[in-house]
Amino acid sequence: MSKSCVLAYSGGLDTSVLLGWLGEQGYSVHAVYVDLGQPCEDRQAILDKAEKIGAETARIVDVQNELCRDFAFPILQFQAKYEGIYLLGTSIARPIIAKVCLQVAREVGANAFAHGATGKGNDQCRFQLAAEALEPNIEVIAPWRDATFRKTFPGRSEMIEYCEKNNIPVKATLKKPYSSDENCLHISYEAGILEKLDVNGIESVEFGMCVTPQQAPDKSETVSITFQSGIPVAVNGEKDNAVGIVKKLNVVGGRNGIGLIDMVENRFVGMKSRGVYESPGMTILYDAHRYVEQLTFDRDLMHLRDRLSPEVAEMVYYGFWYTPKMDALFAFIKEAQKPVSGEVVLKLYKGNISVQNRSSEGSLYDEGIATMEGGGAYNQSDATGFLRIQGLPYRVQSKIRPRKY
């Protein structure tokens, strides 16, 4: 039986080496560049490079809008952030990459799916869990878990040398050996000099979307975002599709230094790792979405969602996307977000976001009830009975078990 595989090909250091190595192992390799809106890459050059290295076929599959609409926006609706900080830009992209590669594998008759994720990281989990959930009979090839491969390429230095020897152009160099992963949601940076915690990550990285807050203008900029049922539909009054909105806000946020983070996180495999991330557009959307929710979202429903949010972030980060639990959670959030419609105007200034104003036809905020002025629609005397009922169990308990004070 002939050996044929689909390779999730980014054109970067790892997958360029893998493409050559898989061919040396006797595989007919179909390179698939899943276009996620990577902002810093020449797509035609990537295809040409794949064919030069020896790919049987090389193709680009554009799923930018699907990534934003069907993957990123539901996670936005959950306000999900891994460990309270990370907006999951890489994590969200992995299940759609796996899905596209398996679709191509089915088309070309390939019986294996190869990826360049290391045996130390999270991506191997995300790719494999997604692949096995969608196609249980697929063979998953992860060369970094192969001892022979690791003996040949024990580190990034040897991979860079391999590319130089074989005239394969890659971004990474021995002088600046950190890795980046790019899509329209964010860019992540890790490895190399970023593994040293005494290195300032924000100052050491050449960002692809953002300026640093220090480089941002000394003047604030306002931007308005409109939501319908928890989905952003317009920026500054102009309607657009999902990816169009994200890209517009990447530009606006990027020039104002929005969405840069430097964190040490807990990987699924158990180790701690350090990552630097830039997510200008999604950072703006998270803030804007929360402000519209504050007007329109029922209190108890919001608090339930907020309790579920860390669970969703963890599932996405670990790779449990195509699961019954996630299906149920997506059904929940779609229903819960129906009233979350309105517009918010944000002010951006040197990495900071503040709210200028917010409005919604479905707003639950009633100034007549909330006012601290005299009169209004709220009778303060009603609070006496409310609090007596709330305090009843504690009055009973304090008689039986008095507290020292």
For 38-62, write each residue's pLDDT tens digit: 876 688 888 999 999 999 999 999 9
Task: Tell me the angle at which helices 13-24 and 156-165 cross, rounded to the nearest 10 degrees.
Answer: 70
Tally of domains in the chain: 2
Same-domain pairing of 168 and 249 = no
C-alpha pair distances (Å), 247 with each of 68, 86, 242: 10, 19, 9
Query: Which residues, 6 or more positions from 391, have their beta carbon under 8 angstroms from its beta carbon?
Result: none
Give me the active site residues, please.
14, 94, 123, 179
Shared-domain flag, residues 158 and 237: no
Cα separation, 248 vs 226, in Å, equals 13
Same domain, 230 and 140: no
Residues 165 and 216 in one domain: no
CATH code of the domain in which 81 resides: 3.40.50.620
**Nearest-5° angle of CA 49, CA 174, CA 159?**
50
Decide which of 127, 143, 177 is a domain's last residue: 177
For β-strands 187-190 and 272-278, DSSP reports them as: antiparallel
Q: Hey, what are 285's tokens?
A: 């959307």
Whether residue 393 is contained in a domain is answered as: no
If asked whether residues 287 and 217 sit together in one domain, one would say: yes
How confident is the prediction for the chain on average, in pLDDT? 94
Residue 173 banded pLDDT, cuts 50, 70, 90? low
Question: What are residue 60's DSSP bridge partners?
Answer: 33
How far is Cα 388 from Cα 294, in angstroms, rounded to an integer?
28
Residue 304 falls within a domain, yes or no?
Answer: yes
Q: If you search the block for the tokens 């409109």, which residue do you land on? A: 226
Tell me what pLDDT residue 45 has. 86
The label of the residue with tokens 């390779």 reads 7
In this structure, the answer to whether residues 194 and 53 fall within a common structural domain is no
**Which region among 274-283, 359-368, 370-379 has the lowest average model confidence (pLDDT)?**
370-379
CA separation for the pair 142, 342 (Å, rounded): 46
- Token pair 């909330």 in the structure block, residue: 370
The answer to whether position 385 is within a domain reads no
Domain assignment of residue 149, yes or no: yes
Check residue 214 and report its DSSP letter: G
Round to whole Å and give the CA distance between 70 and 95.
Answer: 11
Lowest-confidence region among 96-110, 144-158, 235-249, 288-302:
144-158
Residues 224 and 157 in one domain: no
pTM for the predicted model, two decimal places: 0.94
Query: What CATH number did the domain enclosing 256 receive?
Result: 3.90.1260.10
- Amino acid at site 65: N
Q: Token pair for residue 139?
A: 């063979």
CA distance 290 to 40: 30
Point out the domain boundary residue: 145, 177, 209. 177
Report helix, strand or coil for 199: coil
Q: How many whole angstroms separate alpha carbon 144 and alpha carbon 115?
A: 9
Query: Could you list the residue range(s) of the whole structural domain that residue 172 is in?
Result: 4-177
Q: Are residues 303 and 200 in the same domain?
A: yes
pLDDT score for 1 = 53
Q: Residue 176 pLDDT > 80, yes or no?
A: no
Looking at the fold, whether 139 and 264 belong to one and the same domain comes out as: no
Q: Indicate the residue among 323, 340, 359 that finishes a domain.
A: 359
Answer whether 207's CB lies under 8 Å from 260's CB: yes
Q: Is residue 372 part of a domain?
A: no
- Domain match, 96 and 220 both: no
User: How do 260-266 and 139-141 pair as beta strands?
Assistant: unpaired
pLDDT tens sequence across 217-239 = 999 999 999 999 999 999 999 99
8 Å CB contact between 64 and 37: yes
Task: Read off the pLDDT of residues 196-211 as tens digits, 9 standing for 90 and up.
Answer: 999 999 999 999 999 9
Q: What does the block give as tokens for 155?
A: 């580190």
Q: State whether 195 and 325 are in the same domain.
A: yes
Answer whether residue 81 is part of any domain.
Answer: yes
At 307, the amino acid letter reads: R
Q: Considering the domain boundaries, does residue 396 fall inside one?
A: no
Task: Identify whether 378 is part of a domain.
Answer: no
Indicate whether 200 and 329 sit together in one domain: yes
Strands of the 57-62 sheet, one edge to the other = 57-62, 28-35, 4-8, 112-114, 139-141
